[in-house]
Amino acid sequence: MDYAFIFSSLIKIAALLAVVLGIMNYAVYAERRISALIQDRLGPNRVGPAGLFQPIADAAKFLLKEDFTPAHVNTFYYWLAPCLAMIPAITTLAVVPFGSSLFGVPMVIADINVGVLFVFAIASLGVYGIVIAGWSSNSKYPFLGGVRSSSQMISYELSLGLAVIPVFLLVGQLRLTEVVRYQIENGWLIAPFVGDWGNLQKWLLAIPMMISFVVFTIAIFAETNRLPFDLPEAETELVGGYHTEYGSMKFGLFFLGEYVAMITGSAIIVTLFLGGWHFPGVPDGSHGWGWGLLNIFIFFSKIAGLLFVFIWVRWTLPRFRYDQLMRLGWVFFFEIALVNIFIAAIIIAYLPSK
Amino acid sequence: MSEQVSASAPPQMVNVQINGVWHEFPKGTRVIEACEKAGSYVPRYCYHKKLSSPGNCRMCLIEMGLPKMGPDRKPELGADGKPVINWMPRPQISCAQDVSEGMGIRTDSPLAQECRKGVMEFLLINHPLDCPICDQAGECRLQEFSVEYGRADSRFLENKVKKPKNIELGPRVTLDDERCILCSRCIRFCQEVAQDDVLGFVDRGSHSVLTAHPGKRLENNYSLNTVDICPVGALTSSDFRFQMRVWFLKETKSFCTSCATGCNTVIGTREDVIYRQTPRENDAVNSSWMCDYGRLNFNYLQSEKRLLEPEILSGDKLVPSDWNTAIAHAAAQLKHFSGWEIAIIASGRMTNEELWLTRQLATTLGVDLIDIVPRTGPGDDILLSVDRNPNTNGARLLGVTSYPGARLREIVDGVASGRIRGLVALGEDAADIGLTPAQLAGLPAFVVLNLLANNSTAAATALLPSFGFAEKRGSMINGKGRLQRLNRAVRGPGQARDDWEILRDLIQAYSGRNGIYSIEDVFRQMSESVPALAGLSLSKIGDLGVQVLEIEQSPAPLWELESEKAAR
Amino acid sequence: MAITVSRPKLNFRERLYLPAILSGMAITMRHFKNMLFGRTKVTMQYPEEKWDSHMPEHYRGAPALVRDDTGRVRCVACQLCEFICPPRAIKIIPGEFPAGDKFAKVEKFPHEFDIDMIRCIYCGLCEEVCPEQAIYLRKDYAITGFTRADMVHNKEKLLEIGGVMHGVVLKWNEKK
C-alpha cells in the first residue's frame, strides 16, 4: 500500500470535512442574516461580533437539549433516519475535485472514473433518511411528509439525471476531474469564452448546456427540499413534516443535512457547469502552493455564491402546490431534459467540432 | 311559618290588587310579604319576617289604597267588576300592615320610587364610604338598594357625624356605629329570640347609636345571628372579620353537626378553606337561626392535628403506609379473632351511611359488642340540644346502639379482662370511655378511624384518616327525627379518605365486592334494608330534609315563641 | 352563499412565470441591498434603544402599589382587584391595624399582596376597579426573573415600583 496516498487522503478528508461543516454552520447563519435583510430585519447579531458566533451557540443548544425518543416510534429506524439524512450528503463530496493540486497532491479525495454515477447513487440514498424518518415516527404528519418526499425525490432525480447527459456527451467521460479539465480548456460549459473563438459548435452547444444548467439547478433545489420545493417539511401544512417528532441533535442532523446537501449540490453544479476550481487567468497548483490554495478558495467562493442564490430563492418564492410540483417535474422538466439531450447530441454529431 | 299556617284550618282569603293585578292572599298576610309573593319585592331594612315589625326604617314605603265605599257601605265596583280603589295621598309602610279585602298596592309608582330614593339618601347621609374595608360589602342591603333604588350621586356637603367604631360588643361581635342605620333588627332579635335583652339605642337624632346596656355585653350563645340579620356592616363577626371577602365564598348547603338539632347551614369556603358557617332558613328545624357554638365549631377541620395519611404498626411504631396496605393490614389483624373477641366503638357523629356500613362490618366479623359514645352538654330552650351527637337517632335506627353508651362498660371490662382482643374505634377516642393507654397498647388489634389525632391514636395498630362533616356527603337524623343531608364543601386534606369508602374497603377485604361504588349505592342498599328510609335517596332528601321518625318530644320553645308571635 | 371567483386568463408571458419569478427576486434583492447598506431601518435594537421616552401617558406596564403623602400604603385589602383579575394573578392576605396604630382608623391593610407577573396580562382592570386609588399600572414592562418565584411581586416589590402618588383623594383623613 501507498502510505503517502492514505496519509494524504486522510488529511484531505479531514480538511474537507472541517471546511464543509464550517460552511454548513455559517450557511445557517447566512440563511438567517440574509432572510432577515430581505425582510427588512437584522437577524441574529448578538452572539459575538455581528452575531458571528451564533452557529456555536446554536450547536451548543442542539447538543444540550434533551435527546428525547417518543414512546410510539420504531426506535431503531427512528435513530437511523437522521444519520441517513446526513451521511450520503457528505459522502458525495468524495468525488468532487475541490481544487487543482497542492504540493503535487490532487485536490480530490477519490478521483474515480464513474464520478457522476457515484454522485447520483449516493445522493439518492438521502431520500431514505426522510422516508424512514416519516415512517418510523409513527405519526400522521411525518408519514405524509415521508410519502411526499419519496415521490418528489424520485420525480426530480429523473430530470437531474437526464440534465447532465449532454455534459457527458460533450466531455466523453464520467470522471469529474475530466469535466473540470475540459472546462479549463474550452471554457465553462455555460460560458465558453476560452479556447477556439471561431468554433460554431461550441457556441451552439452553450444553449443546451444552459438548459441543462437550469434544469439541473432546479432539480437540485427539489432534491434538497428547499423552498419552493419544501413539501416534505411544509410547516404550514404538516407541522414539521418528516421531522415533526424529532428534537435535539437528531433534528439538528436533519436540519444540517439539508445544508450539507445544499453544499454538495452546489459543488456538483460548480464542477459540472461553472468550471470547478477554475477561474480565467488563475494558474493551477502546479505553479506553486499559493495558486493551489487560491484554486480551492475559488471553488468554495463559487459554492458560496450558489448558496446565496439558494437562500435568495427560498425567501422570494412561495411553496408549490403538490400537483403543481408533480406537473412541473414530469411534464416540463422531464421533457425539456429529454429534448435537450437530442439537441446536444445532434449538435455534437452533425456540426464540426473544429 | 307558612307551613304552620297552612297546617291549621283553611285560612280566609282576601283579594288584593298589587300593581294593577288582583291576587288572593290568606288573611293576616303582611303587605310586604304579599308583594313579594306577587313578584314585586319591596326593599326593607328593619323588617325581618321572623321578628316583630317596628316600621322604623321607612324603606318599604308603598302607595296604598282601600276600596271606595258607596252609600250602602259596600265597595263600588268598576267597569271590570272589581272594587274601585281610593288611593291614599301619602305613602304607607308595607311591613306593619296586613292585607285586607279590596286593598290596592302600588310598589313601583312614581311616589313609591321617589320615597325610596329619599329614604336612601337620608340613610346614606351619615353612612361612611368605607365599603372597601367593610365585611358586609357584597351582601350589604345598603349597597344593593342604593344601586337599585337610590341616586347615583350625593348632595351632602357637610361633615358626617362621628360615632364610635370598632367596638367589641361581645366576645364574638364587633360593632361599627357609623355604619349602623338604626334598623333595630339586632335589638329585636335579642329581645324576642335570644331572650337576652342587652342591646338598645341611646342618644337622639343623628347622634343616636346602638350600644349594649351599661355593664353588659352581647355574649349570649346566639349573638352571631345579629351579624347575619344586620342589613349593613355595623355588626360584624369577630371570627370572620377581615378574613375573606364574601364574594369569593363558595356556598354549600349543609347542616350543623354540633348537636342533635342539626341547624341548616350554608358553609362559606374558598379554595378548600372554610371561612364561615351561616344559618339557612328551615322552619322545621332552626327557623333562620343557629347558635354561636355550632357556628364556630368548624376550625378543627383545619387543625394541625388532622391525620393526613394511613399508618400501620410496624415493629413497635406507626409508619406511614398506603391505603391498600393499611386496609389489608387492618383486615388481616381482625381476622385473627372470632366475633366475640372484637368490639366496635362507633360514633353518633357518623352519618347514616357510615353507621349502616359499620353494622355490615359488625355482621361480617360476627361482632355483637357495638355501641356509640354518648355526648351531652347543657342545652337551652332555643336551639341547642342536650344531646351533642348529631345522629343518635340514626345510630338507633340502624341498630348500632339501642341506648347510647349502655354497652361501653362491657367493652371496657372486656378489654381489661383480656376477652376483647380486637377493638375498632370509629371516630371516637377510646381513652374517653375509660380505657387506659396501657390497656390500649396491649390490644393485639386496635383499628382507629378518625380525622384528628387524640389520646388513643398513638396506640393504634392501624390508623385510618377520615373526613369531617364539611368534607363528605351523607345523611343524619336529627333529634326530632328529620333526615338531613350533608354536602361536600371542601376536599379532605392529605390522603384522608371518605369514611364510607374506608368502611366499604374493610368489608370488602372479608367478603369481596359488594356492589358499592358510591355514596348513593350505600344509601340505596341501606334504604332497601331499613323500612324508615324506604324509597328515599340522597337527592330526594332535598335541602330541607325529610321527616322520617316520629319522636315523642315537645316542640322546642322557639316554636312556641314564634307561634305566639304569629298569634299576636 | 357561494361565490365563484373567476380565474384570470393568463397570457403566454404570464404563463411562463419566469418574468414574475425574476421580478420577485429583484424585489427581494432590492430589500436585501437597501438593508445591507443601511438605507432602510425599521428594527429597533431593543436593549440599547428603548421606547421609554416615547411611552404614551396611558401605557399599561407592571401593576404596582402606591403610598400617599402620609406614607400609608393606600391599599386597604378590599380584594376587588383579586376578584376582577382575569388571570387570577393577584393574591391578598388582609391584616388589621392594631389599636393605637397611626393608621388605626383605616382598620385594614394588605398583610401580603402578591401579583404573579407570569400570570398578569397587563389589562389594567385592577387599576380601574380600585376604590382606593391604590394600584396603578406603571411604565415598567421588562419584568424578568430566573425562577417562577422571582416573577411573583410581593408587597415590598410592588411598593418599590409604585412609589408615592401625590394628589390623590385622602378619604381616610381624620377630618373626613
Whether the predicted pLDDT of C143 surpasses 70? yes
Q: In B, which residues are within 8 Å of C105 by CB distance?
A: 165
Q: How confident is the model at residue B8 (pLDDT cuts 50, 70, 90)?
A: low
Chain A residue numbers with beta carbons less than 8 Å from the beta carbon of C22 are none
Q: Are A315 and C28 inside 8 Å of each other by CB?
A: yes
Q: 3-state SS of B19-47?
A: CCEEEEEECCCEHHHHHHHCCCCCCCCCC
Q: Chain C closest CA to A311's CA: distance in Å?
A: 11
Q: Which chain B residue shows the shortest CA-CA distance from C171?
A: B129
B567 — pLDDT class (breaks 50, 70, 90): very low
pLDDT of residue B552: 65
Q: Are B530 and B523 in contact (CB under 8 A)?
A: no
Grid cell 470535512 — which residue?
A17
- Burial (0-12, 13-18, 19+ Cβ within 10 Å), C54: exposed
Residue B3 pLDDT grade (very low, low, confident, very high; cuts 50, 70, 90) = very low
Judged by 3 or more CB pairs under 8 A, whether A touches B is no
Find residue B235's DSSP bridge partners. B175
Positions of chain A with pLDDT under 50: none
pLDDT at residue B2 in the model: 43
* Radius of gyration of chain B measured on its C-alpha atoms: 29
C-alpha torsion B252→B256→B257→B262, nearest 10: -120
Judging contacts by C-beta atoms under 8 Å, the chain A residues touching residue C27 are 316
- Residue A171: the pLDDT is 80
Distance between CA atoms of residues C131 and C136, nearest Å: 12
The crossing angle, in degrees rounded to 10, of helices A200-223 and A334-350 is 160
Beta bridge partners of B320: B311
Q: How far is CA A170 from CA A174, C25, C55, C145, in A?
A: 11, 32, 69, 67
For A190, residues 6+ apart whose C-beta sits below 8 A from its C-beta are A206, A209, A210, A213, A273, A274
Q: Which of B66, B79, B77 is nearest to B105 (CA)?
A: B66
C64, exposed or middle or buried, with CB in 10 Å at 0-12, 13-18, 19+?
Answer: buried
Nearest to C25 among A36, A42, A316 (CB): A316
Residue-wise pLDDT tens digits, C24-54: 889 989 888 888 887 887 777 788 888 878 8
Interchain contact C23–A (C-beta under 8 A): no
Nearest to C168 by CA among C58, C66, C56: C66
Q: Do C76 and B132 touch (CB under 8 A)?
A: yes
User: Left (φ > 0), alpha (ψ -120 to 50) or beta: where does B542 sit?
Assistant: left
Cell 439518492 belongs to residue: A124
pLDDT for A197 equals: 63
The class of domain B13-118 in CATH terms is: alpha beta
State the pLDDT at residue B345. Answer: 93
**Residue A66 pLDDT:** 84
The alpha carbon of residue C122 is apart from the nearest alpha carbon of chain B, in Å, by: 22
CB contact C16 to A (< 8 Å)? no
Residue in B129, B133, B159 closest to C108 by CB:
B133
- Kindly list the strands in the beta sheet with B173-175, ordered across the sheet, starting from the edge strand earlier in the chain: B167-168, B173-175, B235-237
Averaged pLDDT of chain C? 88
Beta bridge partners of B254: B265
Percent over 70 (pLDDT), chain B: 95
C40 touches chain A (CB under 8 A): yes
The candidate with the shortest Cα–Cα distance to B305, out of B429, B430, B452, is B452
pLDDT in tens, B81-124: 888 899 999 999 999 889 998 899 999 999 999 999 999 999 99
Residues of C within 8 A of B133 (CB-CB) are 76-78, 106-108
- Among C108, C109, C169, C176, the strongest candidate for a mutation testing the B interface, having the largest count of B CBs within 10 A, is C108
Best of C32, C34, C45 to disrupt the A interface (most A CBs within 10 Å) is C32
Question: Chain C: residue nearest B165 by CA?
Answer: C105
A241 vs B12: which has the higher pLDDT: B12
- The total of other beta-carbon atoms located within 10 Å of residue B452's CB is 17
Q: What's the ipTM?
A: 0.80
| DSSP secondary structure code for residue B318 in this structure | E
Report yes or no: A316 at the C interface, CB cutoff 8 Å: yes
Q: What subunits touch chain A, counting only 3 or more CB pairs under 8 A?
A: C
Q: What percentage of chain B exceeds 90 in pLDDT? A: 65
**Would you say B325 and B472 are in contact if contact means Cβ atoms under 8 Å apart?**
no
Say yes or no to pLDDT of B484 above 90: yes
Q: How large is the average pLDDT for residues B560-566?
A: 49
- Residue B463 clears pLDDT 70, i.e. is over it: yes
pTM above 0.95, yes or no: no
What integer pLDDT is reported at residue A196 of this predicted model? Answer: 63
B346 has pLDDT over 90: yes
Residue with cell 460560458: A191
- Helices in B366-424 by DSSP H: which ranges? 392-397, 408-417
CB–CB contact B248 C79 (8 Å): yes
Give C18's pLDDT tier (boundaries 50, 70, 90): confident
Average pLDDT on B263-268 reads 95
Chain B residues touching C82 at Cβ < 8 A? 248
Mean pLDDT over B278-299 rounds to 92
The rounded distance, in Å, linking the Cα atoms of B272 and B249 is: 10
**Among B453, B447, B457, B451, which residue's Cα sits nearest to residue B472?**
B451
Phi, psi angle pair for B508, to nearest 5°: -65, -25
pLDDT at B139 > cutoff 50: yes
**C44 touches A: beta carbon within 8 Å:** no
Task: Give whole-number Cα distances, B494 to B26, B466, B502, in Å.
Answer: 55, 10, 15
Residue B566 in grid coordinates: 304569629
Predicted pLDDT at A121: 84
Secondary-structure class of domain B311-547 per CATH: alpha beta
**How do the domains of chain B map onto residue ranges?**
13-118, 125-302, 311-547
- The domains of chain A are located at 69-350
Optimal mutation site among C21, C35, C42, C45, interface A, most CBs of chain A within 10 A: C35
Chain C contact for A286, CB < 8 A? no
The domain made up of B125-302 is a member of CATH 3.30.70.20: yes
